[in-house]
């Protein structure tokens, strides 16, 4: 038994087949041989005119705007020559094979005008809140030495990688803190999650004025560490120092290029002694060009949260307060103006921590020493002196005539004694 739907399908096919008639060739059509080239099968066929090119009208209109139909390489005018970086111009061209090719013009160095009264271009930066200790350092140096509020780029500073010897100021700081143990890193997880052994892996010696801007032959650079009017140092968290350095990295190169358009930079590169290299799809020209202005760097705004003592007391872990608790200036050079307003360090950082007089201790004979708050490090014995008895010492301290009382406001702080075994 055939299902009803299938029976209905057979009925439809039967109805259609009844209307099919045999094929008849149309009249007036020449009978050909079936070979190419005869009257019915010509070798060349007439093409449709371009105006009658098949396809939607909108698609044809869009194609005509971009260029003739069938062109392989079309470059918009705004992309033909343009700046793609502070010191790079990119040109797009169509090569002989109608493929897009790239030509880059990279300025690797600039030559400033030599005239004393040459025009300048101001490069003004903002010291961001995230730079923390760097902003505290730069602002304090500028306050104490206003002449470094603006820094004119040195003649050789206008390059991608200006060559600089290690700063004498940085070398002097390292020498002043060369005693064993002073730069040992704390091993707590909060301040030293990577368990670095030395503070130099966590902290960095930040210079101001920056070495990349100033002349390496200037007294400002050469006398760093020897005078307060030269380059100064602060030992600070490395992440903050590195982030802050972005303010002045490259400004001596890119500053004069800010006012030049892409065409002017390309033309200057074209007439310079340039080096050229090639890749599969691009050509790269590197050039040194003359500019008409010399850049002058300054920090126009400080956005950091200002702290007491220019942030020195918050400079952890780069100020090892457990060892140098009475001297937040540990992070600075000895010639820093900080020490003209504050007491000199009580400890010699060129000697081992264990060899330096330590706070809150007494030697084997019981001799007391002045102790900064919170420091109970042991110290080496000194020359023996007559030891006073407990009641004699207690009486002296009670009436305010102890050997080394430290006055705090209107009160006296009793010096803690710890006798070494």
Q: Which pLDDT belongs to residue 102?
A: 94
At 300, phi and psi to the nearest 5?
A: -85, -20
Cα 142 to Cα 60: distance, rounded to the nearest angstrom: 66
Encode pLDDT of 285-305 as tens digits: 999 999 999 999 999 999 999
| DSSP line for 210-255 | -TTTS-TTSHHHHTTTT-TTS-EEEEEEHHHHHHHHTTTTTHHHHG
Range picked from 79-88, 127-136, 153-162, 404-413 for highest mean pLDDT: 127-136
What pTM was computed for the model? 0.66
Task: Assess contact for 213 and 207: CB atoms under 8 A.
Answer: no
Q: What is the mean pLDDT of the chain?
A: 80
Q: Which residue has the tokens 């420091």?
A: 375
Q: How far is Cα 157 from Cα 140, in angstroms, rounded to an integer?
A: 25
> Which has the minimum average pLDDT: 111-120, 131-140, 181-190, 343-352?
181-190
At 60 the pLDDT is: 59
Per-residue pLDDT, averaged over 228-232, amounts to 97
Give Cα 135 distance to the centre of its chain.
Answer: 15
What are the contacts of 315-319 at 24+ separation with CB within 8 A? 315/133, 315/234, 315/235, 315/236, 315/237, 316/191, 317/185, 317/186, 317/191, 317/192, 317/199, 317/202, 317/203, 318/133, 318/199, 318/202, 318/203, 318/235, 318/236, 318/237, 319/235
3-state secondary structure of 38: coil
Per the listing, tokens 């201790």 go with 361
Give the up-direction half-sphere exposure of residue 192: CA atoms within 13 A in the CB hemisphere.
Answer: 18
Ordered by start, the domain boundaries in the chain are 120-256+294-314, 357-421
Cα angle, residue 199 at apex, residues 333 and 339 outer, rounded to 5°: 20
Residue 134: the pLDDT is 98
312 or 388: which carries more pLDDT confidence?
312
pLDDT at 228: 96
pLDDT: which is higher, 401 or 166:
166
pLDDT of amino acid 33: 61
């Amino acid at each position: 038994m055939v299902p009803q739907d299938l029976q209905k399908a057979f009925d439809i096919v039967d109805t259609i087949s009844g209307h099919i008639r045999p094929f008849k060739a149309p009249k007036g059509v020449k009978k050909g041989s079936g070979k190419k080239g005869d009257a019915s099968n010509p070798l060349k066929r007439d093409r449709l005119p371009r105006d009658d090119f098949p396809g939607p009208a909108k698609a044809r209109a869009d194609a005509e705007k971009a260029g003739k139909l069938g062109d392989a390489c079309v470059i918009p005018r705004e992309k033909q020559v343009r700046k793609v970086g502070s010191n790079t111009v990119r040109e797009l061209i169509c090569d002989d094979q109608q493929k897009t090719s790239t030509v880059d013009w990279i300025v690797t160095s600039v030559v400033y005008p030599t005239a004393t009264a040459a025009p300048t271009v101001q490069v003004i930066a903002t010291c961001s809140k995230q730079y923390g200790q760097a902003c505290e350092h730069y602002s304090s140096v500028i306050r104490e030495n206003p002449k470094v509020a603006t820094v004119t780029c040195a003649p050789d500073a206008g390059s991608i990688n200006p060559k600089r010897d290690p700063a004498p100021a940085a070398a002097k700081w390292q020498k002043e803190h060369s005693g064993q143990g002073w730069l040992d890193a704390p091993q707590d997880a909060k301040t030293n999650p990577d368990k670095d052994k030395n503070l130099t892996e966590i902290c960095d010696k930040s210079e101001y004025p920056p070495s990349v801007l100033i002349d390496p032959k200037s007294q400002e650079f050469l006398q760093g560490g020897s005078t307060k009017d030269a380059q100064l140092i602060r030992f600070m968290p490395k992440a903050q120092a590195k982030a802050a350095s972005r303010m002045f990295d490259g400004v001596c190169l890119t500053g004069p290029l800010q006012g030049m358009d892409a065409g002017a930079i390309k033309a200057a590169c074209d007439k310079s002694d340039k080096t050229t290299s090639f890749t599969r799809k691009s050509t790269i020209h590197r050039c040194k060009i003359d500019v008409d202005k010399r850049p002058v760097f300054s920090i126009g705004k400080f956005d950091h949260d200002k702290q007491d003592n220019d942030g020195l007391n918050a400079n952890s872990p780069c100020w090892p307060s457990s060892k140098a608790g009475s001297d937040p200036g540990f992070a600075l050079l000895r010639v820093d103006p900080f020490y003209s307003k504050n007491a000199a360090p009580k400890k010699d950082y060129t000697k081992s921590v264990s060899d330096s007089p330590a706070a809150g201790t007494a030697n084997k004979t019981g001799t007391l020493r002045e102790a900064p708050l919170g420091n109970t490090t042991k110290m080496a014995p000194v020359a023996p002196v007559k030891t006073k008895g407990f009641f004699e010492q207690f009486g002296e301290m009670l009436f305010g005539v102890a050997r080394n009382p430290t006055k705090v406001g209107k009160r006296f702080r009793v010096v803690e004694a710890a006798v070494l075994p």
